[in-house]
Amino acid sequence: MRTFSLTNPPMRGKELEPLQRALKAVKLYAGPTDGIFGTGTADACKRAKYRLGYPSRAVERTGGQTLLDFLNGSKPLPLAYKLRRHARGYGISREDRLRSAIVSWARKGVADEPSIGYAQVRPMPSSWRLPFTTDCSGFVTLCYRLAGAKDPNGLGYNGEGYTGTLLDHGETIPLWQAKPGDLVIWGTFPGHHVAVIVAVSNPADPELVSHGRKQGPEIVSLLAETAGQRRSYVVKRYSL
């Protein structure tokens, strides 16, 4: 297939029709399959290139065989394209996007630590309006809320909740199954402290963000936090 671009009069040809059908299949084009490279087809090609991870300089209103091959799967995406695609929020599951957002908010808490106080106050904060004050369960609940996930307390973000409601909900999983975004809760019911997992490069000692004192939120390791808590823990996973 030759490369199609916007011209006056527009380029046309039967060989363009498979590309138009492929763009329709991914819901980026709603126009006729007429073999005419108009603005509708051109705009759809540009959107497809962005979603497929093309370099920014190559996200243009042109279409050709390579784009068709990527869309219909006859040619695999290069690794660099896949990485850009994921960075732009495409090609990853909703769960992975939510987990990534939970971790991002938790890490933002570390960056904004001077403006985040510690106290057991209710209702829990519902926005990231600095400065604000919250406790460990309020902090992890806020990370879930701002990420767009369901309330891990099972209360529909009504401003209430504590480690006990976090223990009452979700699934208890073994440490080796833990993923970023899962929670670690120390102490038997009603619980004593909770932190959010942000990295599992070492599955035996994940990296956490903990907000359990005035100096938080802070990055800690599971082993270090457990030594400080002097209590056993469970790892909890929630429906996102």
pLDDT at residue 93, rounded to an integer: 84
- pLDDT beyond 90 at 151: yes
pLDDT at residue 104, rounded to an integer: 95
- pLDDT beyond 90 at 94: no
- Provide the 3-class DSSP secondary structure of residue 129: coil
Nearest alpha carbon to residue 234 among 174, 160, 144, 161: 174
Give the pLDDT band (50/70/90) at residue 158: very high
Nearest alpha carbon to residue 197 among 102, 122, 123: 102
pLDDT at residue 53, rounded to an integer: 97
pLDDT, mean over the chain: 96
pLDDT at residue 97, rounded to an integer: 86
Beta strands in 109-158, from DSSP E residues, in sequence order: 116-118, 132-134
Entry pTM: 0.72
Summarised one tens digit per residue, pLDDT across range 95-144 is 988 998 999 999 999 999 999 999 999 999 999 999 999 999 999 999 99
pLDDT at residue 92, rounded to an integer: 82
First and final C-alpha spacing in the chain? 44
- Provide the 3-class DSSP secondary structure of residue 65: helix
Answer CATH for 94-237 from 3.40.30.10, 3.30.70.270, 3.90.1720.10, 3.40.50.970: 3.90.1720.10
pLDDT at residue 89, rounded to an integer: 82
pLDDT at residue 137, rounded to an integer: 98
- pLDDT beyond 90 at 209: yes
**Type of residue numbered 173:** I
Structural domain boundaries of the chain?
14-87, 94-237
Summarised one tens digit per residue, pLDDT across range 218-231 is 999 999 999 999 99
**CB of 169 within 8 A of CB of 234?**
no
User: Treating both helix axes as pointing N-terminal to C-terminal, what angle do 94-111 and 136-147 enclose, rounded to 10 degrees?
Assistant: 130
- pLDDT beyond 90 at 217: yes
Here the tokens at position 18 are 């498979």
- Chain centre to alpha carbon of residue 212: 25
pLDDT at residue 108, rounded to an integer: 98
pLDDT over 70, % of the chain: 100
Here the tokens at position 146 are 């701002």
Give the pLDDT band (50/70/90) at residue 190: very high
pLDDT at residue 47, rounded to an integer: 97
pLDDT at residue 163, rounded to an integer: 98
Residues 60, 127: Cα–Cα separation, whole Å: 38
- pLDDT beyond 90 at 196: yes
Nearest alpha carbon to residue 240 among 97, 49, 54: 97
Q: Which residues contact 8 (CB under 8 A, 6 or more apart)?
A: none
Here the tokens at position 17 are 């029709």
Count Cβ atoms below 10 Å from residue 144 Cβ, excluding itself. 24
Summarised one tens digit per residue, pLDDT across range 22-81 is 999 999 999 999 999 999 999 999 999 999 999 999 999 999 999 999 999 999 999 999
pLDDT at residue 238, rounded to an integer: 98
